[in-house]
Structure 1
Amino acid sequence: MKKVLFVFMFALLAIGVQAQQGSKAIMPKLGYQTEFERLGLGVEGRYFLTNNIRIAPGLTFLVPNNNITGLDVDINVHYVFPIEGVQGLALYPFVGGAMLNNRISVSGVSASDTSFGINIGAGGQYDITDNGYLNFEFKYTFVEHQDPAYFMLGYGIRF
């Protein structure tokens, strides 16, 4: 009986994991960047390459603070694993690359700077509906002369 139950549970897990491969989502997000203490508004796409690995390109506009406006473009690779015993909860660590553009404007004179860096972080998502989930993410970007960390909250929509 234990073997039958084990095979049945394994089959259910395999069906659930297999359903993720190839799935896509778009996620509007809102958050905070610590470096220049700015509010971030963004959007991220997500696509599962395998059962647990997905790519996540994103774009974040950083609202001006102290005359500095920002635009971050990044692409990350997530390793997603569901939490056993908690239906709809998954956690993921990630790594990726980033392009950070900051523009300062003072008295009609402006200058901009573009930097490239490496992202590292972790996040979690919790299914609210069959096609929607809440997402929380923390990211740190290693960039020369900057130390930006991000806290982001989003709502993902699967399609």
Structure 2
Amino acid sequence: MKKLFMAVVAAFISLASFAQSGSWSVGLNFGYGTDISKPFLGGRVMYGINDAFDVAGSFNYYFKDKYDVGYGEDITFRYWDINADVHWNAFRGDKYKLYPLAGLTYLQAKASYEGISSSDGRFGVNLGIGGSYDFTENFAVGVELKAQIIDGTQFVPMASFMYKF
């Protein structure tokens, strides 16, 4: 699965580098993972291959969880994910895009207790819908609703604030 994920990411990068008429944008993500039950903050890079297709990569860090297990001891949980998605801009105008999306995700979890830690990572698939609106030539806002299908399904609503080059 890791080899497949790396091959797909390499294909996205290759496709983006050979495209002639693209545009780049970078930004911040704010969202919430329903399975993890935590908000996240992240970064995003998007490349517009042409008017119909975009590729987007993101890294999201979920706010940590700390639980008191008694006797003054805590267990801490940390999560992060990496995503690579393709957007098909099915409905688009001069200032907006509405799209279905599909892609790959990798979710990493780490638990720490009394100096001992354990971590686990899983690959999965992203499926969802989204949209963006260009406020100016250089600034845009986006919203996505997607399902991360890993060992179950996590619903991930997210807002992005993007600077376009």
Alpha-carbon distance in 2 for matches of 1:64, 1:95: 27
Alpha-carbon distance in 2 for matches of 1:125, 1:82: 11
Measure how far apart 1:82 and its partner are: 4.1
Matched, 1:45 2:45: yes
Give the structure with higher Rg (CA): 1
Alpha-carbon distance in 1 for matches of 2:131, 2:65: 28
1:36-73 deviation digits (Å, cap 9, x = unpaired): 11111111111122221111011111111242211101
2:8 aligned partner: none
Alpha-carbon distance in 2 for matches of 1:82, 1:94: 13
DSSP 3-state at the match of 2:50: coil
DSSP 3-state at the match of 2:153: coil
Measure how far apart 1:94 and its partner are: 0.5
1:104-127 deviation digits (Å, cap 9, x = unpaired): 112322111100001001111111
Normalised TM-score (structure 2): 0.77
**Stretches of structure 2 lacking an aligned partner (at least 5 in a row):** 1-20, 67-75
Question: What is the letter of the counterpart of residue 59 of structure 2?
Answer: L
1:130 aligned partner: 137
RMSD (Å), alpha carbons? 1.7
Matched, 1:25 2:21: no
DSSP 3-state at the match of 1:148: strand
Measure how far apart 1:23 and its partner are: 0.7
Within-5 A mapping of 1:107-146: 107-144=114-151, 146=152
2:158 aligned partner: 152
Normalised TM-score (structure 1): 0.80
The share of aligned pairs that are identical, in percent, is 26
Contact 2:126 2:146 in 1 (8 A): yes
**Stretches of structure 1 lacking an aligned partner (at least 5 in a row):** 1-20
Measure how far apart 1:100 and its partner are: 0.6
- Size of the alignment, in residue pairs? 137
